[in-house]
Amino acid sequence: MPLVLNRTTDATVEPVTAAELRVHLRWEYGNVEEALMEALITAARHKVEETIGRSLINQTWELKLDCFPSIIEVPRPPYSSLTSFQYVDSNGDTQTVTSTDYTVDGSSEPARVYEAYNKSWPTTQPIRNAVILTYVAGYGAASTDVPEEFIVATKLLAAHWFRNRESAAPMQQHTIPDGVQALISPYTVSIMGA
């Protein structure tokens, strides 16, 4: 089933600080280029998250589906909480799915949302994006909540981009260094339809 997934609120902290990246780089020039380092850390986190299909630091996502499937897989684990669950009814009005009508299996990766026992999904208007879930995903709100493998991978990738700012070969701009790939590949999650 086709889906639309948008990050509506990004993480408020990064898994790596500019000071930590400076130590990793053995940078001897103080805060010079700190803004670039911070930008590269954010870009590296986004690339790691995109590659493995996960959220490292808590962030809010909006998932849109054309109708209710029997089971809704929630992208970008780990799942933290469901903020809003809405749908467009057959009259074209936006309604909220009540918490007694569904169950969230947050221990699965990806998390799954399905009908509660003896309940059934409401009828939606046959339009695109008729079902909308807004949720929080991530290992936690602090950098210390992120597993070490992802912290190291983010640091390695940001350092790689810092040292190789303008790669000569176009393919180098899109590849992830082998060390980063080795750290993150065991944690890749795929979602049907994503």
Asked whether residue 173 carries a pLDDT value surpassing 60, the answer given is: no
Whether residues 67 and 122 share a domain: the answer is: yes
Whether residues 72 and 110 share a domain: the answer is: yes
Residues 89 and 167: beta-carbon distance below 8 Å: no
Asked whether residue 116 carries a pLDDT value surpassing 60, the answer given is: yes
Which pLDDT tens digit goes with each residue over 32-72? 789 999 999 999 999 999 999 999 999 999 999 999 999 99
Domain assignment present for residue 27? The answer is: yes
% residues pLDDT > 70 (the chain) = 93
Place of tokens 């089933």: 1
Identify the pLDDT of residue 2. 77
Whether residues 133 and 151 share a domain: the answer is: no
Closest CA to 75 of 114, 112, 129, 115: 112
Closest CA to 17 of 136, 148, 158, 145: 158
Range of the domain at 88: 59-137
Enter the DSSP assignment of 189. -
Would you put residue 192 in left (φ > 0), alpha (ψ -120 to 50) or beta?
beta
Which pLDDT tens digit goes with each residue over 19-31? 999 999 998 887 7
Whether residues 52 and 122 share a domain: the answer is: no
Instruction: Enumerate the β-bridge partners of residue 145.
Output: none
Residues 153 and 180: beta-carbon distance below 8 Å: yes
SS3 80: strand
Whether residues 96 and 132 share a domain: the answer is: yes
Which pLDDT tens digit goes with each residue over 128-151? 999 999 999 999 999 999 999 999
Which of 101, 118, 137 is a domain's end point?
Answer: 137
Whether residues 179 and 123 share a domain: the answer is: no
